[in-house]
Amino acid sequence: MTIQTGGDQLNIANGIREFARATPRAIAVIDRDRTLTFGELFDRAARLAQGLIASGLTPGERVAVLLGNRLEFPEIAAGIAMAGLCMVPLNPRQASLEIAYILEHSEVKALVMDGALASALPPVLPSVILSIGAESVGRDYEEFLADFEAIDPKIAVHEQEPFCVTYTSGTTGKPKGVLISHRSRVLLFYGTALEWGLGPGKRTIAVAPLYHGAGFSFGYGACFTGGTLVVQHKFDAAETLEMVEKHRIQSMFLVPTHAQMMRALGDEAITSKDLSSLHTLYFNAAALPINLKEWVCRMFPNTGIHELYGSTEAGNVANLRPEHALERPGSVGQPWFMTQLRIVREDGTPVAPGEPGELFSKSPFLMNGYLKDEAATAECTTDDGFLTCGDIATMDEEGFISIIDRKKDMIISGGVNIYPREIEEILATHPNIAEVAVIGVPDETWGETVVAIVVTRDGTELSHADIEAHVRGKVAGYKVPKASHNIATLPRNAGGKVLKRELRNTFTS
Mean pLDDT per 10-residue run, the chain (509 residues)?
67 98 98 98 98 98 97 98 98 87 97 94 96 87 98 97 87 79 98 97 96 94 98 96 98 90 94 97 84 94 95 95 92 97 94 95 98 95 94 94 81 76 89 92 81 92 94 86 94 80 85
| pLDDT for the residue numbered 505 | 85
Q: Are 485 and 507 in contact (CB under 8 A)?
A: yes
Supply φ then ψ for residue 266, to 5 degrees.
100, 150
CA 49 to chain centre: 26
Q: Are 189 and 315 in contact (CB under 8 A)?
A: no
Region of residue 285 (left: phi > 0; alpha: psi -120 to 50; beta: else): left
| pLDDT for the residue numbered 150 | 98
Q: Are 503 and 491 in contact (CB under 8 A)?
A: yes
Rg (CA), the chain: 23
Q: What is the pTM of this model?
A: 0.85
Q: Are 433 and 455 in contact (CB under 8 A)?
A: yes
| pLDDT for the residue numbered 387 | 97
Q: Which residues contact 269 (CB under 8 A, 6 or more apart)?
A: 237, 238, 241, 262
Sketch out the chain's domains with CATH numbers. 38-181 (3.40.50.980), 329-409 (2.30.38.10), 417-507 (3.30.300.30)
Supply φ then ψ for residue 82, to 5 degrees.
-60, -35
Q: Are 308 and 318 in contact (CB under 8 A)?
A: yes
CA dist 112 and 114 (Å) reads 7
**Beta bridge partners of residue 361, listed in sequence order:** 341, 387
Closest CA to 300 of 263, 257, 329, 328: 263
Supply φ then ψ for residue 315, to 5 degrees.
70, -155
CA dist 272 and 278 (Å) reads 14
Q: Are 165 and 88 in contact (CB under 8 A)?
A: yes
CA dist 389 and 28 (Å) reads 34
CA dist 50 and 58 (Å) reads 11
